[in-house]
Chains A and B, each alone.
Chain A
Amino acid sequence: MTPAMLDVRNLTTELVGPDNSIRLIDDVNLRLDAGEIMGLVGESGSGKSLTGLSIMGLLDPPVRVADSQILFKGEDLRRMDDERLRRIRGDRIAMIFQDPMSTLNPVLRIDTQMIETIKAHEKISTAAARVRARDALGKVGIPSPDERLKAYPHQFSGGMRQRVAIAIALLMSPDLIIADEPTTALDVTIQAQILSVVQKLARENGTALIWITHDLSVVAGLADRLSVMYAGRIVESGRTDDVLRQPMHPYTRGLIASLPSRNRRGMLLNQIPGTTPPIADLPAGCAFRPRCPSATGMCLAHPQLETVAGRDVRCFHPSLEGIGA
């Protein structure tokens, strides 16, 4: 069996303080094969972005990965020396951020930045690198890429800038892309254009993709599998259609039920009571317990992620409604 493109085992990330440390991500497991798209969904503070940064090894003290195996094609990224990790990042694994201006240097032309990236990873002539940069711009749907190569980041609109950031991520044809809310700041019509580019990419090049978002509806049509995070833990994980049709975890159920739907126009939405607890002060046992309609005394214990009918759920009372026995 060939190893998975990415296999994250027991990822635990902590904020190390002088006296104690706070666990920000607790026991996250992710597995991704080539060409697969995984949606990593959660609300603010759920640890979804931090999971992406942990995988990339982009954390700075006092935040650190406490314990984990992060296997990329079977090789543990955390055991690699810095030089090799640097080569893999940007070459085999790329990341796209929400704000493209955090990727782009505002005082350099796009071509300078793109050619620089290619040359950092590969011995190649500038002319050949330029051709590849132009092709990458064309691939993400930037009109007249030859001219646009000479532009500065501020001369692009928000949607175009995000495309440039995606084009840079694509330059080395990475095997894995981690995209952190890349379309959140964009308009619907522009978001759809970018989703279509990304979807094509995964299908045609076999690129594996982790798409981090707070918006279920963005990944619903895009991802093969969904992992839902709450308070630093994955609470449910499974095939996208299964999770959306029959959510098992009360939090996932609550999230889906709270979305406005066409046939309940003007009626009160089903809301999840309360707010997300601060990560430094999680309730004992299941973190969702105080907001959960099905919580019992049992939930004072810490639930493990267990496989129920082909789905991973972290709950003592998963809903089996509509699940064939």
Chain B
Amino acid sequence: MNARLDVDHVSKLFTRKPGMIERAAEAMHVKKPSPVVHALDDVSLSVPEGSVLGIVGESGCGKSTLGRVMAGLLDPSMGTVRLRGKPVDALSTAERARERLRVQMIFQDPSSSLNPRQRLADIIGAAPLHHGMTDRRHLADYVTEQMTRAGLDPAMRDRFPHQLSGGQRQRVGIARALAVQPEVLICDESVAALDVSIQAQIINLFLGLRESLDLTYVFISHDLSVVEHISDRVAVMYLGRVVEEASVEDLFANAAHPYTQALLAERPSIAPGRRSYHTIKGEIPSPVAPPPGCHFHPRCPVAFDRCQVERPVLRSIGASHTSACHLNG
């Protein structure tokens, strides 16, 4: 299957902008340069046309940064992002703008991603009008169509975001993204802030849109159950690196990396019966100073000497199943 979107050896570094005194101190060699955060460290992933790639991981694992790099909201520090096999860097400005429009993002918090002073019709209609997907004369109908598709009553077009419930606001975010006729949706924790009963409604909306519009998804979440439900393939990230990637069936049945195994073991579930929590020890280290070698080794129950010094590469351990652990493969 052809990759609709792929990232190839992508890294993203963030540096804190030093203040004036710090810059002076650096120039005089009395202070070390500001710390660099490797938010993404050599990540390669491919999203086939029409598929759903789930990305899971805990705070600070780089999953949101990866989503932003994929959506073109951030430029990678190193590596290449390709759309339909073409490197984004190689596209002309006009082409790039057009291709970028095909990749839209849906955020976690609908209230902070919607302008509180705009009415729904303006929030949803502005981008397609600007990009010439409709004209002023047909705008009202166009907005009605987008709202209906996202499960919103078009009669609410003159409302403001604060007049809506959380679930409705998330639908506005979806309607706005769909209004520019995207082919890829990048959902960053898009159901995390919603109540359980509303979460099911939004997941169903995503599943339905996938069918009716042939969408390709990147579904970023900390919630394993949601990712398992919606994804075809799943990548697990830890501190900026992909540690395991496989088809959803394979990953949840035969998790190979100790971190994935730990995540699965500690996944909350409604299975009846008292449970005991077999906790993995320790905290998620700061991404400013990640541990050397395998980032997971200080928390890993099976770590040995090599893990402290050598970074495990992501290698094939089965049919389209990769894992980055010295013990795998």
**Which chain B residues (22-38) contact chain A, with CB distance < 8 Å?**
none
The contact string, 1 if C-beta is below 8 Å from chain A, for chain B 168-212, is 100000000000000000000000000111111101100110000
Chain A's nearest CB lies how many Å from the CB of B54?
11
Given A189-B280, A269-B229, A214 and B196 contact (CB-CB distance below 8 Å): yes
By the criterion CB–CB under 8 Å, are B195 and A266 in contact?
no
Closest residue to B230 on the A side, CB-wise? A266
10 tightest CB-CB pairs across the interface, nearest first?
A221-B275, A260-B229, A217-B268, A258-B200, A196-B277, A187-B58, A43-B195, A192-B266, A241-B272, A272-B197
Residues of B contacting A5 in the complex (Cβ-Cβ under 8 angstroms): none
Q: Give chain A interface residues in 264-314, CB to chain B under 8 Å.
A: 264-272, 275-276
Report how far A240 CA is from B272 CA in the complex, Å. 7
27 contacts between A and B (CB under 8 A): A43-B196, A159-B283, A188-B222, A188-B224, A188-B266, A189-B284, A190-B284, A192-B279, A196-B276, A216-B196, A217-B270, A220-B269, A221-B268, A221-B275, A222-B274, A241-B273, A244-B272, A258-B196, A258-B199, A258-B200, A259-B270, A260-B226, A260-B230, A266-B229, A269-B229, A272-B200, A276-B165
Residues of A within 8 A of B228 (CB): 260, 262, 265
Interface residues of A (CB under 8 A from B): 43-44, 157-160, 187-193, 195-196, 199, 214-218, 220-222, 240-241, 244-245, 254-256, 258-262, 264-272, 275-276
Inter-chain CA distance A191–B224, complex, in Å, is 14
Instruction: Answer whether residue B162 sits at the interface, using C-beta atoms and an 8 A cutoff.
Output: no
Contact of A188 among B168, B226, B230, B267 (CB under 8 A): B267
Query: Contact: B268 with A187, CB < 8 Å?
Result: no
User: Could you list which residues of chain B lie within 8 angstroms of chain A, going by C-beta atoms?
Assistant: 58-59, 165-168, 195-201, 203-204, 207-208, 222, 224-226, 228-230, 248, 252, 262-263, 266-280, 283-284
The number of residue pairs between A and B whose CB atoms lie closer than 8 Å in the complex comes to 132
Asked if B195 and A44 sit within 8 Å, CB to CB, the answer is yes
- Least Cβ distance of A87 to chain B in Å? 34
Contacting residues, chain B, for A44 (C-beta < 8 A): 166, 195
Determine the distance from Cα of A284 to Cα of B195 in the docked complex, in whole angstroms.
23
Contacting residues, chain A, for B230 (C-beta < 8 A):
260, 266
Q: Which residue of chain B lies nearest to A254 when distances are taken between CB atoms in the complex?
A: B197
Q: A43-B195, A260-B228, A260-B229 are in contact. Are A271 and B268 (CB under 8 A)?
A: no
For B264, give the chain A residue with the smallest CB separation.
A188
Q: Whose C-beta in chain B lies nearest to the C-beta of A240? A: B272
Partner of B272, one of A189, A245, A254, A276: A245
The residue on A at minimum CB distance from B225 is A260
Would you call B270 and A220 a contact (CB within 8 A)?
Answer: yes
CB distance from A270 to the nearest CB of B (A): 7
Contact B269 A217 (CB under 8 A): yes
Contact B272 A220 (CB under 8 A): yes
Least Cβ–Cβ distance between B98 and chain A, in angstroms: 31
For A218, the chain B residues whose CB sits under 8 A away are 268
CA distance A193 to B167 in the complex (A): 31
Option from A254, A256, A272, A275 in Cβ contact (under 8 Å) with B270: A256
For residue A186, give the distance in angstroms from its CB to the closest CB of chain B: 9
Contact A191 B197 (CB under 8 A): no
Cα–Cα, bound, A127→B76 (Å):
54
Q: Which of B165, B225, B262, B283 contacts A275 (CB under 8 A)?
A: B165
Contact B248 A265 (CB under 8 A): yes
Chain B residues within 8 Å of A199, by CB: 276-277
Determine the chain A residues whose CB is within 8 A of the CB of B198 once the complex forms: 43, 275
How far is A214 from B196 in the complex, measured between Cα atoms in Å? 8
Whether B204 pairs with A269 at a CB distance below 8 angstroms is: yes
Does the CB pair B200–A187 fall under 8 Å? no
Report whether B200 and A269 are in contact in the complex, using a CB–CB cutoff of 8 Å.
Answer: yes
B229 / chain A contacts, CB cutoff of 8 Å: 260-261, 264-266, 269
